[in-house]
Structure 1
Amino acid sequence: MAKPISEFFKELDFPLNNIRWSWGAQNEHGILLRTWQDEFVSRPRLKVEVLGLNVDYAELDSPGLGERVRHVEELWAGGIPGYTVIAEAVSISAARRTIKSYRNDVVFPIQQIIADDAGRLAALLLTPISVGSLDEHVKTHRVLGNDTPLPVDRMPERAMAARENYQTRLPRMREILIETARHRGKVRYGDLMDQLDYVRYQLQHAMNKIGHECVDKHEPLLTALIVYKETGQCADGFAAEFGVTDSEGERERCYQFWKQASMPVHIEPALPEPDPSDPMFERERRFTQTEVRVQQSAFRQKVFLACDGCCVVTGCDVPEALEAAHLFGRDWRLGHNEASDGILLRRDLHAMYDAGLLMISENGIVTVDDAVRHAYGDFDGRVVRMPFQSASAA
């Protein structure tokens, strides 16, 4: 494989939202998916699975599933350019697939998304085009839309649950908007969908619920802070739903209201009193004296102690060089702040981990992305003990 597929997507102007878990990308022109060679057929016509009902990949536990559902929903509705890159897996039976190779000379235009009799959502494909002609092709190509709603009964069980239980994320959405108001900011529709694992219709319902909740509480409309990337303005539906035509004025009211509003202070449970005679005491004090985020000092302390004050990959024990990293899939905003939610990493490895350039499996196996292998290749394949594992499991 000449280059990581993330670099290939970026060169095509479809940068992945996250190079570790994204299954495709969307830009202002359209959508480019990554699909698998073993799920591709050429007869009786070109077709590839884009979302299976009974797929058992471990990666379905990743945020990539929510993003893929949103991409499929957009393509099902049609009217936008859609393409896919075909990749070959190292092992089609692996719990978490990795890419062995991919077609870097062509992409396949998507003609239409269909629901087949086998219980899968698949893309009907057109003759592949060279990557050099993609910029021109997107100007005229459009995916055919479907007249019926997306058949949610075809969705994997986890995706179904995410769609049906979107209301459980409403408090988190309100928290994001309040924090945005306090910083006099805006939040884009796409970014909000990614943060909350929402698809488009879920976000619309959530916006309406939160907006009406603001009305009931006699607050400015927090949903005025949600804007399009291209225009920086609210969707037309905002004015239609709430009768507010001056969205800029409503945003300013939000800024002023939440600047003045007082919020209850969250008090962390008391931690055990440190023992100054313990050799770890001074190193722990040095590590936890700088708070990265509100409420995070306790998390840092828990992770530091769980990892014996050492980077799990390198063994580095210099407190100033260490950071408590949230494990993939954990979110401090959702209360994932226990020792089992994090690992201790050297500062540069933490940056690599968050960027998806250095990965650690649940079994503690380190994988280094090709893009940084020249500098960090010595760590590839290293087995580390995760803090929630027993010593015998390492």
Structure 2
Amino acid sequence: MAKSISRFFSDLGLPLRNIRWSWGATAGSTLLLRTWSDEFSRDEGVRRVTVLREPAGYRAGDSYGLDERYRQLEAVWAGGVAAYTIMATVKDPAVRPREIKEYRDDGVFCIDRLEMRPDGKLAAVLGDFVPLREMAAHAQTFRTAAGDGPFPADPAMKTGVSTDAFQLKIPAMRALFEEVCRSNGTLTYTEVMERFGLTFYPLTSALGRLGHDCKREDEPIITAIVVDAKTRRCSDGILKEFGVFDDEGERQKCYAYWGGEPVPAATSSTAVPAASPDPKREPESEPQPEASPANDFEQRASRFAQVEVRTQQAAFRLAVFRACEGRCIVSGCDVPEALEAAHLTGRAWREGQNSAEDGVLLRRDLHTLYDRGLLVIGEDGRVELDVRVRQHYGELQGALTNHPHLSALAESAAK
């Protein structure tokens, strides 16, 4: 591999639209896709390589290249194009995003046709290997056959985020922000720019548009969940544009409005003004230094139950708290105000899945990582961290969780 793969594409007259996120390129009726050698197979003499997995096979950061790949594959499925693939080898299959170790730079494979496999993956059936020096002449006469029936991939993958116009990305940004609100999370400005391929000024315009949409609909300003990576605070723009003095308080409103659980002030980086005392609530008793372990647990359960949540969530939270013995199953934290009941992946409170077996108790920051797929609990109960968060949470990599329902975790991990 004498040169970068982006230079390889460019030298063929097929420049990548973006060298960071593009997985292929098109020029006229010629289309070249990058595929992975570990997704290549040979069955009864037929060579295939995966060109698109199911939506669950991708992570949030893949969306930009994924959207472009969907559009390219639509064209290949329709037939009548000269479609090829270049095969690359990944450095480490377990690390995301994937990095190219090497690629075959002496030629490309013809894509004879696309087909949907029984496992839900879209595969390219490969034909001849074409030496690089012959590719241009070959593309003059070669055409990929049309697929059988309508394009079978999930249209949800066609998000529109690979456009250059930030206005067309706003619906996808809004959907992501609402999802983050539901997990009481935040995004950094850099994460949003990288996710949607925006530079600073288009990002500012997009956030302004989203904020004004919220103001017009009398909603919390959803852009309050976008913060600076170091300060964990919003830029001054949210004050100047929308008059929001307390960005942390605005985030709490977003979490409550879009279905998340309000975050206790004790666990946030910025204190939230205390609410007025509720005259109907009995005064909290002072903790007793000599309390027995049983009484201490009940006191902590009471503190946990007093965190205000949606009515339909209260019973679920307390059931999970008791099932997990009042401790985060990953870190062991037993501070009630710092803990949250997290639904297992694939379980949803709106569908009535609110028993103790449907959730786990996690420290708030770990709950956010879990909901966003950055922390995974495997079938054996061990923690697997995304490479992007290991710098700060590395001590938890491979840790064995302490949970009474490992079978439920295994079932969740398999979904």
Regarding TM over 0.5, the answer is no
Q: Which has the larger radius of gyration?
A: 2
Given the two structures, how large is their TM-score scaled by the length of structure 1? 0.44
Given the two structures, how large is their TM-score scaled by the length of structure 2? 0.42
